[in-house]
Amino acid sequence: MHGKSGCFAMQKSRFRNAKSKLLFFKEIIFTKSRLLLSLLLKLLEKSRKTRNSTQHPHKNNTPAPHKPFNAYAPPFK
């Protein structure tokens, strides 16, 4: 193809091919990311339920203060 019109026609056909491939890949990428996101949300919800069920409802859920280790103190029995 010679001249400007030939170059534009070739460029247009390349763009049309790329556009159809882009739509195909976009569908794959977004579908897989949605699946991954839904699995991640389910996992987080499950871990939150597990963590909440192991805590006592009457406590304020604050961790106990850390006591430093004393190497010179006798061990408790």
- How far, in Å, CA of 42 to CA of 36, rounded? 10
Count of H-run helices and E-run strands, the chain? 1, 0
Query: Rounded mean pLDDT of 50-62?
Result: 62
Binned at pLDDT 50, 70 and 90, residue 38 comes out as confident
CB 37 within 8 A of CB 31: no
pLDDT tens by residue, 2-33: 556 666 667 667 666 776 777 666 666 666 77
**Every domain of the chain and the residues it spans:** 25-50
Instruction: Say yes or no to pLDDT of 70 above 70.
Output: no
> CB-based burial of residue 71 (10 Å sphere; 0-12 exposed, 13-18 middle, 19+ buried)?
exposed
pLDDT tens by residue, 46-55: 888 777 766 5
Q: What is the pLDDT of residue 63?
A: 61
Q: CA quadruple 26, 32, 36, 38: dihedral positive or negative?
A: positive
